[in-house]
Structure 1
Amino acid sequence: MPAIVGAIKINSVGSSGVFHVGDVFSIAPKSSNKTFSGAGSFNTGNGITVSSYQSATNTFDSDLSDQNIAGNL
């Protein structure tokens, strides 16, 4: 059943974001990214103590593409 939509304000839509108004059968946004992180990264919480005396993150990547999403419907 169609909906009645009033005023809409869009500030931004990200690279894998979806903005849709009305009826839809399927929405499946696709995106990929690569994250390099060293020891002690992505820690959350209260009072975390991380002791990484020697840490090195290797960001060298010899391939041209890792996660191809073109044509991946």
Structure 2
Amino acid sequence: MPAFIGPVQILNIAGSGIVQFGDALFISPKSNTKSHSGSGASNTGGILVTINGISITNVIDSNLIDQPTVDNN
């Protein structure tokens, strides 16, 4: 089915980002990441007030495979 797309503004495509316009049968990115950040580290906004006491980030990962990407079509 045809798609009519209005104004588009793409600010950033990092790494192997996927931008799809129109029809698609499969969209399957082939990457995964894991990140660890402390309390309030991922907050975004115009005005932020973050008050943290003691912040401990647990980075112990008991999973061997979180998201397999091999043969993931």
The two structures share one fold, judged by TM-score above 0.5: yes
Against the structure 1 CA distance between its residues 47 and 17, is the aligned structure 2 distance closer, same or farther, given a 3 Å change threshold? closer
Which has the higher relative contact order, 1 or 2, with Cα contacts under 8 A spaced 6 or more apart?
2
Against the structure 1 CA distance between its residues 27 and 47, is the aligned structure 2 distance closer, same or farther, given a 3 Å change threshold? closer
> What stretches of structure 2 of length at least 5 have no aligned partner?
1-13, 19-24
Alignment of 1:61 with 2:61, yes or no, is: yes
SS of residue in 1 equivalent to 2:29: coil
* Distance in 2 between residues matched to 1:47 and 1:17, nearest whole Å: 29
**Amino acid across the alignment from 1:61:** D
* Distance in 2 between residues matched to 1:39 and 1:54, nearest whole Å: 9
Cα RMSD between the aligned structures?
Answer: 2.4
* Distance in 1 between residues matched to 2:46 and 2:17, nearest whole Å: 31
Against the structure 1 CA distance between its residues 49 and 64, is the aligned structure 2 distance closer, same or farther, given a 3 Å change threshold? same
Task: Quote the offset at 1:17 in angstroms.
Answer: 4.2
What TM-score do the two structures reach when normalised by structure 1?
Answer: 0.57
Task: Quote the offset at 1:37 in angstroms.
Answer: 1.5
Alignment of 1:39 with 2:6, yes or no, is: no
Task: Quote the offset at 1:31 in angstroms.
Answer: 1.4
* Max Rg structure: 1
**Amino acid across the alignment from 2:51:** S
In the other structure, the counterpart of 1:3 is none
Percentage identity across aligned positions? 43
**Amino acid across the alignment from 1:69:** T
